[in-house]
Amino acid sequence: MITHSSERVNLLNIYLDNLSQRELLRRLGDGGMVVTPNVDHVMKLQKDPEFHQIYRNSDYIVCDSQVLFYASRILGKPIQEKISGSDLFPAFYEYYKDDLDISIFLLGGTPGSANTARRIINQKVGREMVVDVYCPPFGFENDEVENEKIVTLINRSEATVLAVGVGAPKQEKWIYKYRENLPKVKTFLPIGATINFEAGFVPRSPRWVSEVGLEWMYRLLSEPQRLWKRYLIDDLPFGWLMIQQLLNLYQYNLPLGQLLQEADLLSFEQVETILAIQAQNRHRKFGELVVDRGWLEPTTLDFFAEQFPQLNKKRARQPLGEYLRAAALLNERQIHDILLEQRQYGRRFGEIAVNKGWVPQGTVSLLLGNKNHVN
C-alpha cells in the first residue's frame, strides 16, 4: 500500500504530493505509478473524467511545471520542488543503477530513438539496465492484437520498471488499462518526450529557461505546428481557473461513478463494470445501471447525483445525520441511537456511525468535506 506524503497541495481538481525528488526516488523502491502534471495535463483533467480517474488512483502526483510550482506559492501552499518526468527518469536510473533488481522497459519514442536511448542509458549506468524497448505504431492503443503483443514483450523482458513515452493522456490511460496484466512490473513512469530527449533526437530547453517557467515557450518555438493549439488555446484558461481557486469560487463535480467510489459505496471493479456496459449502451445512465444490479437504492443514487453537487454552493450546512437520512443510508432509529450515544460518551456522530458498520468511512469523510474534490 502506497502512503502519500502527509502534506498534499490542492491545485484545482488534483492533490499534489509535496515531496522532494530524492524522497520520491527513495519511495519508488517499493514501486508505484507516478504522474507528473503540467498546465496542459491540468486543463485536460477539467474535461476528461477518465484521465481524472487515473490521476486520483495514481500512487504519486508530483509537479512537472514551474508554472504550477509558482501557482502553489500564490495559493499559500508552496511545493518543495518541481519534479518533471524528463528529470525524474534519468534521476531514477542513476539512483538505482547498482540495484540489480531494477530493470527497465522503454515503450514509445520515435522510430530508432528507444534503441538509441537504451544504448546510451546502459552505457551511463554500466550494465544492461534497460532490458528491452518497443516503439509502437500510430493508433496502437486501439488495436487489441497490438496491445497483447506489447504486454507479451514487457512480460517476456521481466522488467520491473515500465517507462512509457507516447504522450498524455494516452500513456497514462495505457498504463492504467494494462498494469494488472504486467505482474513483474512494480514501477510505472509515464514520461512523455523523455525517450527522445535521452536519445538526443529532440533537444531539451536550457535549464535556465525551465527554471523561470518558459519551457512551454521554448517547446512552442521548437514545434509550432504541433504545439500552438495546446499552448495558445487549450491551456489559456488556466489563469482564470487559478483566480477562481484563489477566490474560493472554483468547483469541480466528480462524475457519479467516481463520487460513489470516493464514498466507499461502490468498488473500483463495480464502477469499471458499469462503464464497460455504458460503452456498449450509450443510452443507459450510470445510476440506472447501478440500481438495476441492486448495488444501491434509488434514493441514495438521487442524493449523490442531484443533491450532493449543490452542497458546496451552500454556505449553511446541515448536521451530518440529515444528509445520511436524505441519502437513505441511516433510518430514524439509527440516528436516534447515535445521538443517544453522542450524549452519553461525547463521540462524533460520523465516528459512531462508522464503528457500528452502518455507514462507510468514505461517505462520512465526503460529506464532512475531507475528500479531495471538496474545496
For the chain of 375 residues, list the mean pLDDT of each consecutive stretch of 10. 63 91 95 94 89 89 91 90 91 97 96 95 97 95 95 98 95 94 97 92 72 67 72 81 88 85 90 86 90 95 88 70 94 95 91 95 84 38
Q: Can you state the angle between helices 113-125 and 85-95, rounded to 10 degrees?
A: 40
Q: How many CB atoms lie within 10 A of CB 149?
A: 14
Measured CA to CA, the distance from residue 196 to residue 276 in angstroms comes to 35
pLDDT computed for residue 372 by the predictor: 41
pLDDT of residue 60: 95
Predicted TM-score (pTM) of this structure: 0.76
Q: What pLDDT score does 1 carry?
A: 44
> Distance (Å, rounded) from C-alpha 54 to C-alpha 37?
12
- Amino acid of residue 321: G
Contact (Cβ atoms closer than 8 angstroms) between residue 261 and residue 268: yes
Confidence at residue 359, expressed as pLDDT on a 0 to 100 scale: 96
Note the pLDDT of residue 218: 66
The pLDDT of residue 252 is: 82
- Looking at residue 17, the DSSP 8-state letter turns out to be E
pLDDT value of residue 321: 93
Instruction: Report CA torsion sign: 18, 22, 27, 28.
Output: positive
H or E element at residue 350:
helix 349-355
Query: Measured between alpha carbons, how far is residue 305 from residues 269, 282, 287, 372 in Å?
Result: 20, 18, 8, 18
**Cross-strand pairs, 17:** 8
Q: What are phi and psi of 166, to 5 degrees?
A: -125, 15
Q: Which of 68, 53, 51 is nearest to 17 (CA)?
A: 68
- Cβ neighbours for 180, distance < 8 A, ≥ 6 positions apart: none
Q: CA–CA separation, 204 vs 367, rounded Å?
A: 45
What local confidence, expressed as pLDDT, does residue 374 receive?
A: 33
The per-residue pLDDT for 360 is: 95
Query: CA 128, CA 118: separation in Å to the nearest integer?
Result: 9
- CA 365 and chain centroid, separation: 20
The reported pLDDT for the residue numbered 132 is 97
Distances from the Cα of 315 to the Cα of 167, 310, 311, 318, 371, angstroms = 41, 10, 8, 10, 18
The predicted structure's pLDDT at residue 281: 85
Q: In a 3-state reduction of DSSP, which class is residue 146?
A: helix
CA neighbor of 53 nearest in space, from 255, 250, 204 = 255
Residues sharing a CB contact under 8 Å with residue 320, sequence separation 6 or more, in sequence order: 349, 350, 353, 364, 367, 368
Residue 213: the pLDDT is 65
Is residue 209 within 8 A of residue 14, CB to CB? The reply is no
Tell me: cis bond preceding 298? Omega within 30 of 0 counts.
no
Q: How far apart are CA 211 and CA 357, in angstroms?
A: 51
Length of the chain measured in residues: 375
Q: What is the structure's pLDDT at 224?
A: 75
First to last CA, the chain: 26
Q: What is the DSSP letter of 32?
A: E
Mean predicted lDDT score pLDDT of the chain: 88
